[in-house]
Amino acid sequence: MRSALVTLALGATVAIGVVASSTTADARWRHGFPVAPIVGGLAAGAILGATLAVPRPYYEAYAYEPIYFGPRCYIRRERFWDGWRWHVRRVEDCY
């Protein structure tokens, strides 16, 4: 997900740069304050900064056993022969 956001932000930055860049016929000073490049740069910085500032997942160095009160039991199936045919019964093992 993070790489997709970084790719999208980079693509948006390049697209804004292509659209907002001046051509040779429009490369003259108009005695105004250049607002579009500043706003575009701030927007691109905000997008990239928000994407890269996502907190990384935290993994503990030690895995602890869960605390159980009482014996641990599980049920298993056991086949046995009664002299005529095979039967299956459930056996509970606790330790």
**Residue 6: count of CB within 10 angstroms of its CB:** 14
Judge whether 41 lies within some domain: yes
Q: What is the pLDDT of residue 20?
A: 66
Cβ neighbours for 74, distance < 8 A, ≥ 6 positions apart:
92, 93
Q: In this model, does residue 90 exceed pLDDT 90?
A: yes
Q: Which two tokens stand for residue 64?
A: 């602890």
Structural domain harbouring 20: 2-25+33-52
Compare 62 and 51 and report the one with higher pLDDT: 51
Count of domains forming the chain: 1
List pLDDT tens digits, range 22-44: 566 666 666 666 677 788 888 88
> What's the angle, vertex CA 11, arms to CA 7 and CA 15, rounded to 5?
175
